[in-house]
Amino acid sequence: MFIRTILAVGLVLALEGCTTVLGTNIATDSVVPPTADIQPLGKVQAAVSSGQFLWARETDKQMYDEAKRAALKQKGGDLLINAKITTTLTSYLALYYKTEVAIDGTAAKSCLKRREQDSR
In a domain, 118, yes or no: no
In a domain, 103, yes or no: yes
Q: Which of 30-39, 63-72, 108-117 has the highest mean pLDDT?
A: 63-72
pLDDT for the residue 67: 93
Domain that holds residue 99: 18-112
pLDDT for the residue 18: 74
- The yes-or-no verdict on residue 17 having pLDDT over 80 is no
CB 102, CB 46: distance < 8 Å: yes
DSSP H helices, the chain, are: 2-16, 61-75
In a domain, 66, yes or no: yes
From CA 117, how far away is CA 37, in angstroms rounded?
Answer: 18
From CA 38, how far away is CA 80, in angstroms rounded?
Answer: 10
Q: Please state the pTM of the whole predicted model.
A: 0.70
From CA 81, how far away is CA 63, in angstroms rounded?
Answer: 19
In a domain, 37, yes or no: yes
pLDDT for the residue 71: 94
Q: How many domains does the chain have?
A: 1
From CA 113, how far away is CA 29, in angstroms rounded?
Answer: 20
